[in-house]
Amino acid sequence: MKKQFAFTLVELLVVIGIIALLAAILFPVFAAARRKSYQTVCSSNLRQLGQAILLYAHDYDDHYPLGGDTTDLLPTASWYHGKFAAKAVGLQPLTAMLFPYTKSREVWKCPADMGFEKAGPSLATELSAHPSAYQKFGMSYHYQTIIPFVDQTVSGIFAHDKPTRAKEYGPAQILLLWDAVGQWHGGAAHSDLRYNVLFCDGHVAPVSRTYADELWDQWIGP
């Protein structure tokens, strides 16, 4: 008779322990690789949108698209009650303005888009995005709508720091499109937040929350 061989309980436990150890080592690596691939796809989307904006400007006398992002299209947005009210009436989504140059809706979708929750009582429900910003608003990015509102042109755009206007920014330092929130490409801590940003000169870069705050404080216009 042939002798039957089988794993002992100790051997099984050793194998299970090894598998668990390998999983603990490899899963974070796989997760980091996936996050990096999402960031790469997102950056590629923004570059394509930058090219679409340049093509639009070529057809419209060097002007940026007069389209709005999720915030700007709300009837309660400040545009509709201030000096830009005339331009805000009938404002179309930026996605619609650029569709002839993109031919795709997917280019507006960040694969890491997990939506977001707006805090505070003012417009919190209207601006919150679930399950994703793309599914609710049709785009994962925000647009600097003030640029076309003040008639800035692609070839002549500039900005100043808001408090003093002493520092001037060129097109390589002015954000045009950016991730709606930084948690998609960074950690939960403020210092870990990273935003993929399309600048007005067409280049894309991931920036820290600190630098993003500086960019958001720019004064666009004369």
- What DSSP character marks residue 153? B
CB 48 within 8 A of CB 102: yes
Query: Which stretches of the chain score pLDDT less than 70?
Result: 1-7, 9, 11, 23, 26-33, 119-125, 188-190, 222
DSSP 95-158: HHHHHHHH--SGGG--TT---B---SSTTHHHH-BSS-HHHHHS-SEEE-THHHHTT-BTTT--
pLDDT score for 108: 96
CB 58 within 8 A of CB 215: no
Residue 184 tokens read as 């998609």
How far apart CA 65 and CA 102 sit, in angstroms, is: 13
DSSP 72-105: TTSTTSGGGGSTTHHHHTTPEEHHHHHHHHH--S
pLDDT score for 61: 94
How far apart CA 33 and CA 125 sit, in angstroms, is: 34
How far apart CA 8 and CA 57 sit, in angstroms, is: 73
Residue 163 tokens read as 């408090």
pTM: 0.82
Residue with tokens 């996050």: 35
pLDDT score for 129: 85
Q: Quick one: how far is CA 21 from the chain centroid?
A: 36
- Could you tell me which of 151, 140, 200 has the C-alpha nearest to residue 172? 200
pLDDT score for 3: 55
